Structure 1
Amino acid sequence: MTTPSNDDSTLTVSWVSYILHLIVAVSAVAPGGQIGPALLVVALIIDLVKKGDVSGWEATHFSFRIRTVLWAAVLYLITLPLWFFFLFPGWLAWGLISIWFLYRIVLGMVRLNAQRPVTE
């Protein structure tokens, strides 16, 4: 186990951000649980603001969460027309994107708990 390169406050911020992302991810795959957009914006702002305060393995987690949110947003936007023309493919695409998002957040949490960097 490696020691953190930053103080405990940045580690706490990482955990808070991951928990917010996890709530968003679970609510995205749970029927009727669409509480996520506001929490996602809060988590993204936290990550963007605090990213400059960290270095080393911890910094990889901030970049990882930011990239995950941006990629999910792009994928949701690209597949948005499927909802207007074909309901089932839109539902399927968004379901798969949400599962991918959940997987990435859980992966990041596992790596953060082990104090390891997140690599693709």
Structure 2
Amino acid sequence: MNESNERILAAIGYVLFLVGPAGFVTMLIAAVIAWLRYDKAPEWLATHYAFQLRTLVYAIVLLLIALACALTVILLPVAFAIWLLWSLWVIIRAVVGLIRLVDGRPNPDPSTFWV
């Protein structure tokens, strides 16, 4: 697969992450694409796939924390706040990753929690 097709696949992954807060399944689809293409992509594009995979891992952990809070009635507002912040965090990571991809830049540290 040529580099322009790889860029399109990475961009599709970011778009799927953008709609992820509305439907978590799209984030799983993006992660599967990233996982399948990670080893075959050029090095700078592989950083985008790694960034997407790490976003999914962190997102799952944060959602599990929110779920644990939601199971207790007292911490339900905390769970809602975590979910709102989680949604914002996913969108920001996807937008920043997409901007870097469009600019032709790799992600400087794909393993970081922040952008």
Q: Shift of the alpha carbon at 1:79?
A: 2.7
Superposition deviation, residue 61 in structure 1? 0.3
CA offsets 1:61-114 (integer angstroms, 9 cap, x no match): 000000011111011112311112121111001111111111111110010010
Structure 2 contact 48–106 (Cα < 8 Å) conserved? yes
Q: CA–CA distance in 1 between the matches of 2:15 and 2:52?
A: 11
What is residue 48 of structure 1 aligned with on the other side? 35
> What is the CA–CA distance in structure 1 between the aligned matches of 2:3 and 2:101, rounded to whole Å?
14
4+ residue runs of structure 1 moved beyond 2 angstroms?
Answer: none
Distance 1:88 1:109 in 2: 32
Correspondence for 1:80: 67
Unaligned residue ranges in structure 1 (runs of 5+): 1-5, 29-33
Question: Does residue 1:90 correspond to 2:76, yes or no?
Answer: no
Identity over aligned pairs, percent: 30
Task: Flag structure 2 segments of 5+ consecutive residues without an equivalent.
Answer: 110-115
Amino acid at match of 2:88: I
Using the size of structure 1 for normalisation, the TM-score is 0.81
Report which of the two has the higher share of helix.
1
Amino acid in the other structure paired with 2:87: S
Counterpart residue identity of residue 67, structure 1? R
On the 8 A contact 2:66/2:80 being kept in 1, the answer is no
Q: Name the structure 2 match of 1:3.
A: none
